[in-house]
Chain A
Amino acid sequence: MALINQAIKYEDPSEVKPPVTSIGIIGWVKKNLFDTWFNSILTLLAIFILWKTVPPFIKWAFVDSLWYSTGAECHKAGGACWSVISKNLRFMIFGFYPHDLQWRPLLAMIMLIGLLFYSRNRNRWNKSLVYAWITGLFVMGLLMRGGLFGLASVETTQWGGLPLTLLLAIFGLTAAYPLGILLALGRQSKLRIIKTLCIIYIELIRGVPLISLLFMSSVVFPLFLPHGVTVNAILRAQAAIIMFTAAYIAEVVRGGLQGMSRGQYEAAESLGLNYYQTMRLVILPQALKIVIPPSVSILISAFKDTSLVVIIALYDLLKTTQSVLSDPKWMGFSAEAYIFIAMIYFLCCFFMSNYSRRLERELNTSN
């Protein structure tokens, strides 16, 4: 009698647990990795590849690696030579900036990152933030260039490494964006001359690769200047980057403008708004919101494109790294050095794309 009772109790559906093979980790594995024979093969193959690659990589990168040694010791050891970074870090990050003064670009970069982080929150976007940026940029410029308030002067030719990359990227992107918007508006304009000029500009610039623009600015342009007049190399590269990025931004923004329905323009007109007010208050806020994802992907690729200044011998982050690698002591450890700078680039780009997704969420008013 007791046995029967027990049996009945066990069959109570609310009490019965599923078999161990279909819950927990085993259940998940069975359901997701081994549900059909084809998936099982793929899973086994993936495990095999991971098993073949991950342990050797860990052995190379961490177990056999050297973190602070001379180049000669590295050549003897079999593992990764992170010493190429630790021993040359200051040159890789700061380039030719005088060794004793490198706290100045470091401080400038910290300020920049601080300001960027502070400005992440849109509630803080007001006039005082604009002033904070203006003062911040001025102080950063002062720190980099010196020559005032007892700071020793440092020529722009001695700027290099990460500060140069950030300088080219941030000024390039912030100047290119408004210029791109103007070009997009110009291309939509009813005034024929403005429209033609904008179309010519956009199509000409988009028709050539950035490398050729950089070459033009560094090789051809100086020959047109009167003899003895030279323009700073960084400024020339910066101008090329701005011109290039602006043309692409312009086309993206034009896409957003064309996505606006006719009714929006008419509504603005019927309220008596002039062209400037229509654009500023009605059209652009909506159009720019639509094009956040494509414009951020252009900004990200423009950020990475700044590394092309290598070919005109500006010592940005990539070039200082290559310079270190051309030293016979450190020749052959390119993988380690490139992994390091890839991580720096990734961090910056990841920050940008993450932030753009956040902006999109915050600005989403469609529901």
Chain B
Amino acid sequence: MRLFKLLFISAMVLVFGFSGMASAGTLDDVKAKGFIQAGVNGDLFGFGKPDEKGIWRGLDVDTARAVAAAVFGDASKVKFTPLTAKTRFTALQSGEIDILTRNCTVTLTRDTALGLDFCQVNYYDGQGFLVPKKMGLKSAYQLDGATVCVLPGTTTEMNVADFFRSNSMKMKPVVIENTAELAKAFFAGRCDCLTSDASQLAGTRSVSPNPDDYVILPEIISKEPLAPAVRHGDNQWKDIVNWAILATINAEELGITSKNVDEMLKSKDPIIQRFLGVSPGNGQALGLDEKFAYNIIKQVGNYGEIFERNVGVNTPLGIERGLNALWTKGGLMYSPPFK
């Protein structure tokens, strides 16, 4: 019997040895363990995916790095957990991750029923259609009776069904689990059109055997604001994530980049002085270092830099700023004042 007890205890020690205990505030936990655990996509080029050397790249990845830079003054103090569409919310609820930056669309039910809080949107997406040019289509409203290639289990599948139903058109869905296989099926002619978030369509088109043979239809049939999520009820942590993202947007508004941020420290402009922590106040209010915004911009860059590096026109995705431009340039990116 004693042997069994011993075995049981050592098994429990083994199990919990792999785990960490957490207390109420995520900020304290994160500071205690010395890094942030972020949940990311893993398979989505431009948003969250390891490169050839296994180093994480993407817009969502950089968002998590920005939060790490704000908390620790070191953007590398973040570890990434790849999550599937099905495991992502549990991972956050169970405390396995501290922040979920995995191209999650903000919806009412997710915000309420799942015990999450969504933070500042870091990418405004929408769903569109990619069709072969030879079909001669000008609009998504001409797609009646089309076979549609679509990924299962996401809001995408529901949106496209809603779109066809509300316009009393018929569709035949071709559901394929994997992005790469879905694109292959479309190029092989197994479906008339491929539907996905607009951010993905451009990338899919660019890898086709002949990109000029395909066009993206102008209609965007859904709103997909993608935002990081944290656990419900931890307001301080949510504030930190919010203002870390807003700092990247505010920096772009103020013309501060990772290259000129050191010069900007000497700026006489009181707005910039407050923002970069030259005149203190903001950092203390958040429970962070006064230099948190400086650290974000210096190590990760402003929103424009993050966007262009991961998904912009010079990447394989080649996405225009569009809705993600600053509000002064016709987009939706707008930061409240840092004071």
Contacts and interface: CB of A to CB of B under 8 A. Distances in A.
A326 interface: yes
Contact of B180 (A75, A87, A332): A332
A323 B316 contact: no
Nearest to A78: B209
Contacts of A341: none
Interface stretch (B154-162, B164-172, B181-189): B181-189
Contact of B44 (A87, A222, A326): A326
B207 interface: yes
Interface stretch (B46-54, B139-147, B220-228): B46-54
Given A235-B15, A313-B42, A329-B316, A223 B93 contact: yes
B90 A222 contact: yes
Contact of B181 (A95, A98, A219, A334): A334
B33 to A, nearest CB: 11
Contacts of B94: 222-223, 225, 230
A332 B187 contact: yes
Residue in B15, B52, B54, B316 whose Cβ sees the most chain A Cβ within 10 Å: B54
A155 interface: yes
B179 interface: yes
Interface in A153-169: 155-157, 160
Interface in A57-107: 75, 87-88, 90-91, 94-99
B4 to A, nearest CB: 14
Say which size band chain B's interface belongs to: 35 or more
Interface residues of A, number: 44
Interface string B54-80: 100000000000000000000000010
A15 interface: no
- Among B18, B23, B29, B178: residue with most chain A CB under 10 A: B18
A326 B90 contact: no
A323 B207 contact: no
A136 B254 CA distance: 59
B87 A312 contact: yes
A328 interface: yes
B29 to A, nearest CB: 7
A315 B90 contact: no
A329 B52 CA distance: 11
A230 B42 contact: no
29 contacts: A90-B54, A91-B50, A91-B54, A99-B54, A220-B90, A222-B91, A222-B96, A223-B90, A227-B22, A229-B95, A230-B19, A230-B20, A230-B94, A230-B95, A231-B15, A233-B96, A313-B42, A313-B87, A326-B49, A328-B204, A328-B206, A328-B317, A329-B316, A331-B179, A331-B183, A331-B207, A332-B187, A334-B180, A334-B181
Nearest 7 interchain pairs by C-beta: A228-B22, A222-B94, A232-B18, A328-B316, A326-B43, A331-B207, A325-B180
Interface of B: 15-16, 18-23, 29, 42-45, 49-54, 79, 81-84, 86-87, 90-91, 93-96, 178-181, 183-184, 187, 203-204, 206-207, 209, 316-317
Interface of A: 75, 87-88, 90-91, 94-99, 155-157, 160, 215, 218-220, 222-223, 225, 227-233, 235, 311-313, 315, 322-323, 325-329, 331-332, 334
